[in-house]
């Protein structure tokens, strides 16, 4: 069987496995949300400040919150069967439209954060491996440990204080300048200024993981015979590291990156809240405050799908980097 056919069969198998997985996730998420106090009718009543008991009851009837829990669950299943995530009780808009409007922002933030974490982790890990057990190795190990140990929101706040308040280099929140450029190089620079601090905040938490993994992989690869042969042939150390050592270190890093997508999605909620970034994390935070459980369930469903797709893609990437790895 050809490699391309195995990849296609793997994708189809992952899709078939994703259906029951997402069914279980939605069911558990639905019952967990039912344990939380209050509902969207209470929030709307508190927001207006003049709702009566009859008005709150009418809102619950309108949104179907007066139905038994199991019946509410079956209604949600029926919506999913018709490819609908329901309607937002607060805004009266389709939940799918609200989420799809935020997905690009979250994917952009995660993509840039992964790139930041990989680049810094690669650079730090390679330096640590080449200078193992020396002072630079110990200092970089300490620095990466600090990034890993400090809470994400604290890193974000400190970056805002330093780069936004004191230095004024980057904006403290938002995704673009209101009324700013809409195309061209100026548009790119404007978006880059707004995404730098959020992506750096989200990525720094993973730098330590990639740095330590790269360090271990490079040290292990340096002991192999093909590296000694390349050095004996007269290749420069930089070329040996780039073409032989780092290439073999990419395989475990690709596997770990796929496994960390779910954690990065969770971290995006905190980062998007701190920087007012318009993504799914910010929408989830707003939905929690408003008790909009259909929106939360929709975000949970879409996030689960993104994690499953990301793991499948990184599984394929891992097999492409190392032909010995079979696509699972």
Residue 263 CA from chain centroid, whole number: 7
Per-residue pLDDT 10s for the chain (328 aa) are: 566 666 677 677 777 777 888 888 888 988 888 887 778 887 777 777 656 777 788 888 888 888 888 888 888 888 888 888 888 888 888 999 999 999 999 889 988 998 888 889 888 888 888 888 888 888 988 888 888 888 888 889 999 999 998 888 898 888 888 877 777 888 888 888 999 999 999 888 888 888 888 888 778 777 777 777 777 777 776 777 777 677 666 777 776 776 777 778 778 888 988 898 888 888 888 888 888 888 989 998 888 888 888 777 777 776 666 655 555 5
CB < 8 Å & 24+ apart, contacts of 53-60: 59/89
C-alpha distances in Å from residue 110, one per residue of 9, 43, 72, 207: 28, 31, 34, 14
What is the structure's pLDDT at 199? 92
What is the structure's pLDDT at 197? 92
* Helix or strand run (H / E) with residue 209: helix 184-222
Using CA atoms, how far apart are residues 274 and 288, in angstroms rounded to an integer? 16
SS3 state at 236: coil
Set out the domains of the chain in order of their start, with CATH numbers: 1-87+291-320 (no CATH), 102-250 (1.10.3720.10)
Number of H helices and number of E strands within the chain? 14, 0
What is the structure's pLDDT at 158? 92
Using CA atoms, how far apart are residues 272 and 173, in angstroms rounded to an integer? 9
- CB-neighbour burial class of residue 69 (10 A; exposed 0-12, middle 13-18, buried 19+): exposed
Phi, psi (rounded to 5 degrees) for 121: -65, -40
What is the structure's pLDDT at 263? 77
**Count of beta carbons in the 10 Å neighbourhood of residue 141:** 17
Enter the DSSP assignment of 87: B
What is the structure's pLDDT at 81? 86
What is the structure's pLDDT at 289? 83
């Amino acid at each position: 069987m050809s490699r391309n056919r195995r990849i296609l069969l793997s994708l189809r198998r992952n899709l078939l496995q994703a259906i029951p997985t997402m069914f279980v996730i939605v069911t558990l998420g639905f019952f967990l949300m039912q344990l939380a106090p209050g509902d969207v009718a209470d929030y709307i009543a508190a927001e207006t400040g003049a709702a009566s008991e009859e008005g709150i009851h009418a809102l619950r009837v309108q949104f179907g919150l007066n139905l038994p829990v199991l019946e509410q669950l079956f209604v949600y299943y029926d919506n999913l069967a018709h490819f609908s995530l329901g309607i937002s009780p607060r805004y009266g808009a389709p939940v799918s439209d609200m989420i799809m409007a935020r997905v690009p922002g979250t994917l952009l933030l995660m993509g840039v954060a992964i790139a930041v974490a990989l680049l810094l982790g690669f650079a730090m890990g390679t330096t640590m491996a080449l200078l193992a057990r020396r002072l630079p190795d110990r200092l970089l190990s300490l620095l990466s440990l600090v990034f890993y140990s400090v809470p994400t929101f604290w890193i974000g706040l400190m970056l805002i204080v330093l780069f936004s308040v004191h230095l004024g280099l980057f904006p403290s929140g938002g995704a673009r300048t209101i009324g700013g450029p809409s195309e061209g190089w100026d548009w790119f620079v404007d978006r880059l200024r707004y995404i730098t601090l959020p992506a750096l905040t989200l990525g720094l938490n993973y730098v330590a993981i990639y740095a330590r993994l790269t360090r271990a992989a490079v040290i292990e690869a340096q002991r192999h015979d093909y590296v000694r042969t390349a050095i004996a042939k007269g290749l420069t150390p930089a070329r040996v590291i780039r073409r032989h050592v780092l290439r073999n270190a990419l395989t475990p890093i690709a596997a770990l990156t796929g496994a960390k997508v779910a954690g990065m999605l969770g971290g995006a909620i905190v980062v998007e809240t701190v920087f007012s970034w318009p993504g799914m994390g910010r929408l989830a935070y707003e939905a929690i405050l408003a008790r909009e459980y259909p929106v939360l369930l929709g975000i949970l469903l879409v996030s689960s799908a993104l994690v499953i797709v990301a793991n499948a893609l990184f599984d394929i990437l891992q097999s492409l980097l190392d032909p010995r790895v079979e696509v699972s």
